Amino acid sequence: MYITIDERDRRPLYRQVADEIKGLIAAGELLEGSSLPPVRQVATDLGVNLNTIATAYRVLQREGFIKIKHGSGAVVASRVPGQKADEQVQTQLRAALTDLVLSGLSRAQVNALVNEVIDGLVKER
């Protein structure tokens, strides 16, 4: 499992880690039933506090992406956790797009960036 964190990113480190893992699940690089590395190992690999990774794993568990079994570690629960409410998804998308527009990107640049991210996440079947 390869994840990175960006010190310049305004998101908390635990959120970056959780989002990176969700991206790997969405891209099909972490399949249902796959084991995640132990919290201690990820913390050491990334050079962050153990509690940061533990928090990221708890967030992923709460969101339904992983199952944590004490003593056996964490495994990917599903590529698609329970259906999120359309309203919540729209709110998150609006916030992300607002940030892109406020950063000075044109409509064409936003569209290109969104398409690039989607292409990386959704593999044609």
In a domain, 7, yes or no: no
Number of structural domains (the chain) is: 2
Domain, as residue range, for 57: 13-76
Hey, is 117 helix, strand or coil?
Answer: helix
40-59 as b/e: b if 16+ CB within 10 A: eebbeebebeeebbbbbbbb
111 vs 102: CA distance, rounded Å: 14
Question: Does residue 101 share a domain with residue 51?
Answer: no
Q: Are residues 71 and 91 in the same domain?
A: no
**Band of pLDDT at residue 125, cut at 50, 70 and 90:** very low
Structure confidence by residue, pLDDT tens digits, 50-108? 999 999 999 999 988 999 988 888 999 865 555 555 666 778 888 889 989 999 999 99
What letter represents residue 10's amino acid?
R
Give pTM, 2 decimals.
Answer: 0.71
Burial level of 74, CB count in 10 A (0-12/13-18/19+)? buried
One domain for residues 59 and 112: no
> Is 19 within a domain?
yes
Residue 108, φ and ψ in degrees, nearest 5: -65, -40
23 plus 44 within the same structural domain: yes
72 plus 90 within the same structural domain: no
Whether residue 109 lies inside any domain: the answer is yes
How many residues are listed for the chain in this entry? 125
72 and 17 within one domain: yes
**CATH code, domain carrying 64:** 1.10.10.10
H/E segment holding residue 66: strand 66-69
